[in-house]
Amino acid sequence: MYTNALNRYLQAILAELDNKLNAKITANIRTAVDPLGDSFAATLSGLAKDGTIANNQATWLLQQTGYFPDEMPDAQLGKGGDNDDKESDD
């Protein structure tokens, strides 16, 4: 609700600036609403878990928004054990 109210006022200000300056001005209020980016990261995590976007796409988006550093090393998967979970027909 806060975002909707803030956006309503912001759009009026942007329209006035666009009209007076004869320029296309945009604003990003994400940092005002989600300062740490945790909500955005949680949304991307859900999208990646559901298969809507790939893990590398979510990582790229988080790097572009500054949530992850650009020079973050690639993830390394730990060594797993043998797959002994199969049921035997014996």
- Evaluate whether 44 touches 53 at the Cβ level (below 8 Å): yes
- Tell whether the model's pLDDT for residue 16 goes beyond 90: yes
pTM of the model: 0.60
Percent pLDDT > 90 in the chain is 47
- Tell whether the model's pLDDT for residue 83 goes beyond 90: no
Task: Report H helices in 1-90.
Answer: 2-21, 30-33, 38-50, 55-64
> For 21-75, how does the pLDDT look when each residue is reduced to its tens digit (9 = 90+)?
999 999 888 888 888 889 999 999 999 999 999 999 999 999 998 898 888 888 7
- Evaluate whether 61 touches 44 at the Cβ level (below 8 Å): yes
Residues in contact with 53: Cβ distance below 8 Å, sequence separation at least 6, in sequence order: 44, 47
What pLDDT was estimated at residue 84?
60
